[in-house]
Amino acid sequence: MNYKYKFKLSGLDCANCARRIETALNENEKIIKGTVNFAKLTITIETPLQDNVKQLVQKIVNSIEPNIKVLDEKEEIKNNIKFDIGRLIIGIILFIISLIIKNNIIHEILIIAAYLILLFRVLKKAIFMLIKSFSIDENLLITISCVGAYFTNNIHEGLMVILLYEIGKILESLAVNNSRKSISELMNIKPEYANLKFNDKLYKVKPELVKLNSLIVVKQGEKVPLDGIVVEGTCKLDKRALTGESNLVTVKENEAVLSGSINTSGVITVKVTELYENSTVSQILNLVENASDKKAKTENFVSKAAKIYTPIILLLAILIIIFLPLFSSITFSDAIYRALVFLVVSCPCAIAISVPLSYFSGIGASSKKGILIKGSNYLEAAASIKEIIFDKTGTITTGNFHDYALTILDQKYSQEEIIKYYISGEMLSNHPIAHSILNLFENKKPFKISNFEEIPGKGIDYTYRKQYIKIGSANFCDSKDLTNAIYLNINNKLVAKLLITDGIKENAQETIAILKKLGLNVKMFTGDEKNIALNIAKKVGIENIEYELLPKDKFELLENEIKKYKGNVAFVGDGINDAPALRIAKIGISMGSIGSEAAIEASDVVIMNDNLDSLIALIKISKKTNKIIKQNLVFSIGIKVLILLLSTLGLASMWMAVFADTGVTLLTILNTTRILKDNKREK
């Protein structure tokens, strides 16, 4: 049996270091899987070990980076940026004084002191990496460049390189932290406390400590801490953090409330129906927090390329030093300088930081709109979808049946009895139609039944007082009247049929039209009979329909579509009875399944607000994220290649090299934040 652990990383300021730590974790035989998330400064471990896991992780981390501390999930990360700023100021002061002092010896001492103070962090890491793991990284490249500049009489230029590099690193750290803060604010839905009601007194406790069936009070302005049922009071809830919807929802006695909602008016008393670990807010937070652990192809490519990038750059620099003097009139000293510029410009920070940060920002922006994405691989894939296939009930239609016609076929049963037979079975089903039937007859009491079984795509059966009951489709209940009614069969005799009407979602037609404009092929798969399926499809503008399908039929047809479109197919269903189809699609999307564990488990993306137009938002955010990643890659690689060529030709200075490193990194981080800013503007 394997166990999962999550820790925080204090002192991690380098995306490349995060990649090396992750590699070291996965190479350890005691760890099944290790994932480092630089955007969140977290580390996730899967291992069969139960004891001393933190110590093992700390040892592995310190073999790569000696200054990083592994913290428990609840510990607070301390920022060392003040120390770096203080060190930077001292280095600048020493440099300025050295320019004023006329005495050569004192001047030289001040320069060396400034070098040591400014190079302290970079030099320490470079030496550690060489001694501990015989590996090289950007810290060694910068160290060689600065020391080389000193010994080739480019003293002030070398000092300016490390000075600008350190300033860039501090600004980079601030920019990354600001992005982390922005994303955290998007998902600031965790309730800090619950007002536990006990013996007519209120006690402020952590939500994790509240037990099932306890009573909690939610006052105006407070977040609902746990899922439950209102037993007293009325209020209006703001569900924007859960669904992205701005409209307030009024709740009263006997109605459900979900954790993460905000009470904007009134006071309610709630009976807790889910422990915090199973609550809606906990599921959402876990989903978003773990999303970055499933990495996109672009992230994996960058991670693999980074392993060989730095050694190749160092080798090229050596070749410049050796061959430029041999095959040209360039002096050995000038060749060294060009190689040093080459080393400075080649640091891969911009690429290593901007790619994972972009995906993390995209996932955060989506979650604010009520779109929960399980991994950056799914966010990346959404932009490449060629076909989208819809289930009908609860997806294109509301799944809420407000009107009905009950026909009794055996007059020895009363209407009251027939209704009880229906609700007795449907109360144990998770199908949207079952919920609708229960809503239609919410005040009726069920029978005590046994041997309940649900047959996907057909119906349910159970036993009551030695009677064998079947509820479901015409074929399942042995009816020759092949309508879309829900039939009741008792002891192999048809007793009643229930016809209920379902409405189409308001924005369904508009959403389908926009999806087509985006170049997607749209289809509908449903278990409904032909006439009903064709009628619904015509109203929403879908020309390609497959009807009267069982779940296995949907699965087989979807497999064919996946082959046809080379895997680029999304399936949108209710997340319960469409689980097989949701799993094999490139992206399985659950609609209208707020609070449903089945939906979150089966699908790759969960639309929490039940709005079809969230699919448009998902595709737009995906395309925007991928576009910004491409911009960052083209810009950073293009600038670096340009400066590398100029440095080889002797047309680039170390100042230009520093801009191509830290300057480009800063610009790519700022470009990445557009994902979050664009999301705010659209709201």
Residues labelled as active-site residues: 391
**Residue 141 exposure: Cα atoms within 13 Å on the Cβ side:** 28
* Strand residues in 346-396 grouped as ranges (E): 371-373, 387-390
3-state secondary structure 263-331: EEECCEEEEECCCHHHCHHHHHHHHHHHHCCCCCHHHHHHHHHHHHHHHHHHHHHHHHHHHHHHHCCCC
Could you tell me how far CA 322 lies from the centroid of its own chain?
A: 48
Q: Which residues pair with 389 in a beta bridge?
A: 523, 571
Q: Rounded CA gap, 470 and 558, in Å?
A: 29
CB contact at 8 A, 563 and 578: no
* Strand residues in 29-108 grouped as ranges (E): 33-37, 42-47, 69-72
Residue 259: Cβ-neighbour burial (10 angstroms; 0-12, 13-18, 19+)? buried
What is the DSSP track for 50-62? -SSHHHHHHHHHH
The full length of the chain comes to: 683
Enumerate residues 6+ apart whose C-beta is below 8 A from 523. 387, 388, 389, 390, 542, 544, 545, 546, 561
Q: Which residues pair with 230 in a beta bridge?
A: 270
Q: Rounded CA gap, 131 and 218, in Å?
A: 58
Q: Rounded CA gap, 119 and 114, in Å?
A: 8
Q: How many helices (H) and strands (E) does the chain have?
A: 23, 26
The angle subtended at Cα 528 by Cα 522 and Cα 534, nearest 5°, is 50
CB contact at 8 A, 555 and 585: no
CB contact at 8 A, 222 and 262: yes
* Strand residues in 108-166 grouped as ranges (E): none
Pairing of strands 587-591, 569-573: parallel
Pairing of strands 587-591, 605-607: parallel
Q: Rounded CA gap, 437 and 427, in Å?
A: 9
- Cβ atoms within 10 A of the Cβ of 190, count? 16
First to last CA, the chain: 45
Give the 3-state secondary structure of residue 17. Answer: helix
Backbone angles phi, psi at 238, to 5 degrees: -100, 115
Give the 3-state secondary structure of residue 601. Answer: helix
Which amino acid is residue 139, in one-letter code? N
> Which of 404, 397, 409 is closest to 423 using CA atoms?
404
CB contact at 8 A, 145 and 343: yes
Q: Rounded CA gap, 34 and 19, in Å?
A: 11
> Which of 238, 198, 199 is closest to 216 using CA atoms?
198
* Strand residues in 565-649 grouped as ranges (E): 569-573, 587-591, 605-607
Q: Rounded CA gap, 373 and 294, in Å?
A: 10
Could you tell me how far CA 172 lies from the centroid of its own chain?
A: 23
